[in-house]
Copies of this chain bind each other. A is one copy, B any other.
Amino acid sequence: MTAVATSSVKWAHPRTQARSEETLARILDATESLLMQRRFEDISVGEIVRQSRSSVGAFYARFPDKDALLGCLYERFRKELAALTDAMFDPARWQNESLDAVLATAVPFLVQLHRERQGLLRAFAARACSDERFRQVWKQARHHAARRLKELVAARREEVGHPDPELAVEAGLSMVLCTVELKLQLGELDGPEMDVLAQELVRAVVAYAGIGPSRGVNQTEKSGSECKIGQPAAT
């Protein structure tokens, strides 16, 4: 049997004993906690089972190998993330707010999320570099966020000055995600402090996408601050 998820559905008579599922949860939690300090490769199975008050045998009864553990952690996180994304970009939530309000909430939230789950995210990113399967699911998570955000933007096109709103969403999302992620991965050590950077990121995306309070069509040609230099100005 391959990695079983910590299911949320309970059967009438639980098919597996409850303690089994608890052990799995303990193993996952312990690993995630250890990942805050070290890389996945530098954590031994022995350490994991010790920290989760389990045993190597119990470990290999669940996972075909050490790698599958990371896959299982990913699966657990993916579900959480999808739910968070849906909640964050739920159109109902932003009914009476402008797009910049969305950004001013979403970006700090993203920073917070990355801070709390730093270890996990670092491990996933590292794995995605070399493992095609991880890259695929990573991609899916991003697409999911992009789709939600595009829906939100599409419903209020008039607030967006950028000539290609879909591209603006894609590129803006890339900038924000990459910046937050890499910055925190490297330990927040260089450049501006993270919270300041987050604020500036919001400003940047707002300026880039040309987000303003329902500007009319007449404004599209104005000011030149959003789509000026398509080609390098130098010859």
Selecting from A1-9, A11-19, A200-208, the interface stretch reads: A200-208
Nearest-Cβ distance from residue A93 to partner chain B, whole angstroms: 10
Residues of B within 8 A of A205 (CB): 204
Dominant secondary structure at the A interface:
helix
Is A178's CB within 8 Å of the partner chain B?
yes
Measured as residues with beta carbon below 8 angstroms from the partner, the interface class of chain A is: 35 or more
* A129, B9: Cα distance in complex, Å: 38
In the complex formed, the residue of B with least CB distance to A41 is B41
How often does this chain occur in the complex, in copies? 2
A residues lining the B interface (CB < 8 Å): 38-39, 41-42, 97-98, 100-101, 103-105, 108, 122, 125-126, 128-130, 135, 138-139, 142-143, 146, 161, 167-168, 170-175, 178-179, 181-183, 185-187, 189-192, 196-197, 199-208, 210, 212, 222-234
Q: List 7 A-B contacts (CB under 8 A).
A: A101-B233, A128-B186, A138-B190, A171-B204, A178-B182, A203-B228, A207-B210
* A35, B42: Cα distance in complex, Å: 19
* Highest count of chain B CB atoms <10 Å: which of A138, A142, A187, A223: A223
Quick one: given A101-B232, A104-B234, are A197 and B174 in contact (CB under 8 Å)?
yes
In the complex formed, the residue of B with least CB distance to A223 is B223
Quick one: given A175-B179, A178-B182, are A187 and B222 in contact (CB under 8 Å)?
no
